[in-house]
Amino acid sequence: MNRPLEGIRVLDFGMAAFGPLSATYLGVLGADTIKIEQPTGDVVRRGGGAAMKGMGATFIGNNYTKRGIVLDLKTEEGLAAAFKLVASADVAVDNFREKGIMVRLGLGYEVMSRLNPRIIYLQASAYGNVGPMRGMLSNEWATQAAAAYTSLNGVPGGRPEFLRGSAHLDWNGAMLNCFGILAALYHRQKTGRGMAIETSQLQSTVTAGITRLAEYFTTGVAPSGFGSSRPSIVPDQAFPTALGYIGVSVVHNGIWSRLCQALELPEIASDPRFATNQDRVEHRDELIPILEVRFAQRAAWQWAEALRKHRVPCGEYRGDRPRSHIAMEHPQVVANNMMQTIDSPWGAYNISSAHWRFSKNITSVDRPSPMMDQHHDEIMAELEEKVEATRAT
């Protein structure tokens, strides 16, 4: 059974996450994705964080589904090979800090479209291709600061904080890139025309914080940090327990009643200060200390049992094992096949399964992230075969 993007070729010129993950998602949908690296390789191959047998875990986790080739675009030979790849491709992606970098390398959209009028080129810059910040280097945390995201994080009344633990804003931006490419492919199917698309890490970060920005435009009050809680729903946050932390979310009054039963606090269930969510938001400073005292009396795992018995949405915060191991064993993850384990040259590792489930088309992860230049000969041989076939016709 064909996969949605079978027959589509994607060239990934990018580094780190914002661009490369877009190509990975297209690969999961069936595209032939080719990772094109400079001779020094993607910067996250040698990242200073976690590693498997010397290979950066970020690279391993961001580039599955791809074949890999090294091309030095600053040489005639490397650029000539890139021209052939562009002529054979449907999509090209880069996330260099601004579009002038590809132009200076000889591969801007003007050149690509001459080589292949049907090419779809997505340039995912750091801060956009105009304005005073054009060309500045960025990463997840620098962009958080530039987008005022840090002012939304931290404890009430405390200093602004970075959102730590995962680069989820890069992942959000990569998915937005993916959607833009899919829309462009649909447009090309109807018109036959390729196009250039521009996105930016800054704009995707602003988009991720749009609900907090809406608070300001609605109320005129600048939003501030709420710790792990949510400003519009109470309680919806993490609580310290006698052992570990537990997250609880009460999104409607039915759950509020069940939470009071699970906590064995009938007095707050009947307290008019906490009758509705709006009441609880207004009396947050009175309610949360009561809940904190109660949660501190048992361990997180004990509260998790009680809360689940009463059908209260909750999650236990655990630090005893890697997060992916905990997720792999979660019954809901298992039931929906949300994660899987694949082999790589650096050992087995856990990844997210396809985000999409189609009734007629399948999605799959066919290969791990590539070693440096792993598929060079294979890819170049395919290009030569195509040239020979064109000459024969």
Neighbours of 64 (CB within 10 A): 21
pLDDT at residue 87 in the model: 97
- Percentages (nearest 5) of helix, strand, coil residues in the chain: 45, 15, 40
Asked if 372 and 68 touch (Cβ cutoff 8 Å), the reply is yes
The secondary structure of residue 381, as a DSSP letter, is H
Q: What's the pLDDT score for residue 47?
A: 65
CATH topology of domain 236-240+245-317: formyl-coa transferase, domain 3 (3.30.1540)
What's the rounded Cα separation, in Å, for the pair 74 and 79? 7
Residue intervals in the chain for CATH 3.30.1540.10: 236-240+245-317
Q: What is the pLDDT of residue 1?
A: 55
Measured between alpha carbons, how far is residue 254 from residues 27, 251, 387 in Å? 43, 9, 66
Q: How many CA atoms lie within 13 A of 34 on its CB side?
A: 27
- For residue range 341-359, list pLDDT tens digits in order: 999 999 999 898 988 989 8
Fold classification of 9-208+373-392 (topology level): Rossmann fold (3.40.50)
Helices 284-295/253-263 angle, 10° precision: 40
Q: What is the pLDDT of residue 97?
A: 94
Which helix H or strand E contains 124, and what residues bound it?
A: strand 120-125
- Residue-wise over 86-108: b if at least 16 C-beta within 10 A, else e? bbbbbbbbbbbbbbebbeebebb
Q: What is the pLDDT of residue 362?
A: 85
Q: Which residues of the chain have pLDDT under 50?
A: none
CA distance 149 to 141: 9
Residue extent(s) of CATH 3.40.50.10540 domains in the chain: 9-208+373-392
Q: What letter represents residue 205's amino acid?
A: T
Q: What gap in Å lies between CA 275 and CA 86, rounded to an integer?
A: 62
The torsion defined by the Cα of 153, 157, 159 and 161, in degrees rounded to 10, comes to: -10
